[in-house]
Structure 1
Amino acid sequence: MGGGEKGLLDLGGKTLLQRVADRLAPQVDVVALNANGEPDLFASLGVPVIADTLPDRQGPLAGVLAGIIWARSQNRFSDLVTVTCDTPFLPTDLTARLLAARQRDNDLVIAASNGRHHPVFALWPLGVEKKLAHFLKTQSDRSVMAFIRNCGYVSVSFDFIRCGDQSVDPFFNINTPRDLTEAAQYIDMA
């Protein structure tokens, strides 16, 4: 995408971050952002900005760990819901459906669509903090799915959404200028 903060790209008059926050906010008690850039870049979003607690930008799991540590410090949450900043069509019932699929309090629950897992779209019990920290210290494969497989998980399948006469994956993510152009065609219909 040419560098810079992808979440600050404009899509139909709002940043990607704002679009994602707008869809997520009604589903959670607090929206917070994991970002390692300059926090002032995100000030207009009006949410807490949480940097990774581990050095060397170790990927999405480091962000999840930072989020869990932050959520635990608030003394009022039992879980963390994670999404990505480049998915403007994320389901408006994501959190409710992840919670409904949980079978035990310590279950990790992830989203899926079209036969594919989306492990960053997940419900994380705060109790996985120590296990996640240990995993990040000891494992060479630090992918989100590797950790989730290690813990065990439940998945929830989401249908495509209708945008005009098109069906769009709710986890459609914007990685290229072409993706941004495609998303712009659907944004008013989602």
Structure 2
Amino acid sequence: MIPLFPAVILAGGQARRMGGADKALMPLGGARVIDHLLSGLRGQVGAIAINANGDPARWAGLGLPVLPDPVPGFPGPMAGVLAALDWAHAQGADRVVTVAGDTPFLPRDFVARLGAAKATAAVAETVEPDGTVRLHPVCGMWPVSLTVDLRVALAGGERRMRALCDQAGAVPVRFDAAQPPPFFNINTAQDLARAEAVLTVSGQPIIDPPGP
């Protein structure tokens, strides 16, 4: 049996457009955003951790390791990827999957599709209704061997996920439009309302949040 890669949910941002609230813990469809995300992620990966800053107690009910950014100053998702790489290395893994904590509709074949790219690094890509190609670099697979270069890039002030993709030679993996939309992310209250509407229209079942 092929071993499953570990995965880290990146939820270390400051969520300014949501008033600083944890987007992953927002209510959605009778559960929370992260419950929907975990429902899609479990079974695709091995061990799961969450990258988050501040008091880790607010995540205690998930039963997951909480990994703070390894560099100060909230430098963005690149720091979350570095936390994921450090943790994956400690797990003895050679690659790690990362997903954004505000993406409740993760495709059920997400990790399999990335692994099929036959590249050490791969990231999700979709096409908008108007034909615009959109990269989702936070939702990707990364080699642990990238750790040193990423740490150096962060120390040098690099913050762009696209620069990380270039550095890693990440291959884009295209996912077709679907309902619910893959990699839809929640940044605002309006986005949260749209996600609720998508669940209602799609008839996706309500997910019960895990017990403490």
Alpha-carbon shift at residue 160 of structure 1 (Å): 1.3
Give the share of equivalent positions with the same residue, in percent: 42
Question: CA offset at residue 37 of structure 1?
Answer: 2.1
Counterpart of 1:174 in 2: which secondary structure? coil
1:96 aligns with 2:112: yes
- Mapping of 1:26-41 within 5 angstroms? 26-41=43-58
Unaligned runs of 5+ in 1: 163-167
1:154 to 164, 167, 171: 171
* Partner Cα separation in structure 2 for residue 94 and residue 42 of structure 1: 24
In the alignment, structure 2 segments of 5+ residues that lack a partner are 1-17, 128-132, 205-212
Quick one: higher RCO (CA 8 Å, sep 6+), 1 or 2? 2
Q: How far off its partner does 1:26 sit?
A: 1.2
Amino acid corresponding to residue 122 of structure 1 in structure 2: G
Q: TM-score, normalised by structure 1?
A: 0.89
Q: Which amino acid aligns with 1:137?
A: A
1:112 to 125, 129, 145: 125
CA contact (8 A) 1:113 1:169 kept: no
1:137 is aligned to 155
State the 1:187 CA deviation.
Answer: 2.0
Say what the alpha-carbon RMSD is for the aligned residues: 1.4
Q: Give the partner amino acid of 1:177.
A: A
Q: Deviations over 1:73-99 (max 9, x none)?
A: 122x22110111111111111100000
1:9 to 19, 26, 29: 26
Is residue 86 from structure 1 mapped to residue 98 from structure 2 by the alignment? Answer: no
Letter in 2 for 1:23: G
Residue by residue over 1:119-150, the C-alpha shift from the partner in whole angstroms, topping out at 9 and shown as x without a partner, is 01100011111111111112x34111112113
Equivalent runs, 1:18-33 vs 2, <5 Å: 18-33=35-50
Detail structure 1 runs of 4+ shifted over 6 Å in the superposition: none
Q: Give the deviation of 1:184 after TM superposition.
A: 0.7
Aligned length: 180
Counterpart code for 1:109: A
